[in-house]
Amino acid sequence: MSGIKAAITGIHSWTPDYVLTNAELETIMDTTDEWITTRTGIKERRLLKDSDKATSYLATKAVEGLLEKTGTKPEEVEFLILATATPDMLFPATANLVTGNLGMVNAGGYDISAACSGFLFALTTASKLIEAGMYKKIIVVGADKMSSIVDLSDRTTGIIFGDGAGAVLLEPSQDENGIIDCIMKSDGQGVKHLHQKAGGSLRPATAETVARNEHKIYQEGQVVFKFAVTRMADVAAEIMERNHLTADDIAFLAPHQANKRIIDATAARMGIGPEKVMLNIHKYGNTTNGTIPIVMHEYENRLKKGDNIILAAFGGGFTWGAIYLKWSYDPK
C-alpha cells in the first residue's frame, strides 16, 4: 500500500432540457401518474431529443462544466474513465470521444460497462490508479442516453429511464479524507432477467432484430426488483460493518436511483432516516450510470469535509457494489 488516497475534488452534472412528465406518458401508454409515483417515486425524466446527439454529448457537457468549475485545463487531465450502457458506438470507447471533444490531448481513457453499477466500478478503478501513484488527475464520468434503448410501448420499462451525465475529478488526497473502501460484485445468472438482446456480436443488427424490437431494453421488473432490494441493502450494510460505521456516523447515502422503494429498503437496512438519503429520482428517473454523480452534484452544497458517505448501486449483469468515502471539501 502506497498510503496515497484518492479524493473527489470536484463534481458536476448535466441533463437535457426536455422534461418527459408522467402526464405525457399517460398519453403514450396505458399508465397513470399515480401508479408510476407510488411504484417508483418518479414524476419526470429528462430526454435528449436530438437524434444526432448521444451519450458522448451528455458526458462532454458534464465534463466541460467540471473542468471550468475546478479550474482544470483539458491538457492537465491524465486519464478519463467513462461508465455507460449506451456508448455512442460499440467502438471506439465513448471516453475517447469525450477526451477528443474537449482537447484532453494528454489523457488516456476507456469505457467501463457494468450497467447501473458502472459509475461505482469506474470510481473504484480510478481510485486504485491514483493510489498506485500512476496518475494525479483522473476524471470519472457516468453517462447514458437511455432513451436510445427504451421502448416506450413497454409500460414496465418505458416509465423508468431518463438521460443524463455526471462527472467527478479525482486527485490524490491532501489529508485523511477520500475513498476509503470499495466493494464490487457481479453474478452472470442475472443476464436473463435484464439485457439488450441484439446489437452485439451474438446477434448483430438485422432487419429481423429490428422488427422484433430486440435493440431495446428487456427487463423482468419484478425479478430484478427482488435482487436489487436485497443486494443493494446487503452491500451497503457490509461496507458499514467492515469499516465499523454505525448509522450515526453516516452523513449521507448516495444510492443509485432506480426505484424509490429499493432506496428506502437500503436506507432501512443501514438504519438511517430519509434526511440522510440523497434523492432526485422524482426529477430524473433512472439515468443508469448518471444517477450517482448527478445526485451527489445536487447535494454538493450540503456536504462538509470529513462527511462519511456511502455510495450503493445495483444493475444489470447482475452487478452491484458500494463505496465508502470521506468527503474532501466544504461548500464553496
Helix segments in the chain, DSSP class H:
22-28, 33-40, 55-70, 94-101, 118-131, 155-158, 207-211, 221-242, 260-270, 281-284, 291-298
How is residue 24 written as a grid cell? 405525457
Least Cβ distance, residue 267 to ligand UT7 (angstroms): 15
The neighbour count for residue 70, using CB atoms within 10 Å, is 17
Residue 256 appears among annotated catalytic residues:
yes
For ligand UT7, give the closer residue by CB, 129 or 159. Answer: 159
For ligand UT7, give the closer residue by CB, 208 or 220. Answer: 220
Contacts of 86 (CB under 8 A, 6+ apart): 54, 55, 144, 145, 146, 148, 149, 288
Least Cβ distance, residue 159 to ligand UT7 (angstroms): 5
How is residue 36 written as a grid cell? 408510476
Least Cβ distance, residue 27 to ligand UT7 (angstroms): 13
Least Cβ distance, residue 160 to ligand UT7 (angstroms): 6
Q: Which of 96, 116, 193, 289 is catalytic?
A: 116
For ligand UT7, give the closer residue by CB, 97 or 322. Answer: 322
For ligand UT7, give the closer residue by CB, 25 or 107. Answer: 25
Query: Inter-axis angle of helices 118-131 and 291-298, to 10 degrees?
Result: 80
Q: Which of 177, 256, 280, 297 is catalytic?
A: 256
Please spell the DSSP secondary structure of 236-274, one letter per residue. HHHHHHHTT--GGGEEEEEE--S-HHHHHHHHHHHT--G
Least Cβ distance, residue 286 to ligand UT7 (angstroms): 5
CA-closest candidate to residue 298, choices 136, 197, 166, 129: 166
Residues contributing to the site for ligand UT7 (CB under 6 A): 31, 35-36, 39-40, 116, 155-156, 159-160, 221-222, 224-225, 228, 258-259, 262, 286, 314-315
For ligand UT7, give the closer residue by CB, 135 or 161. Answer: 161
Residues designated catalytic: 116, 256, 286
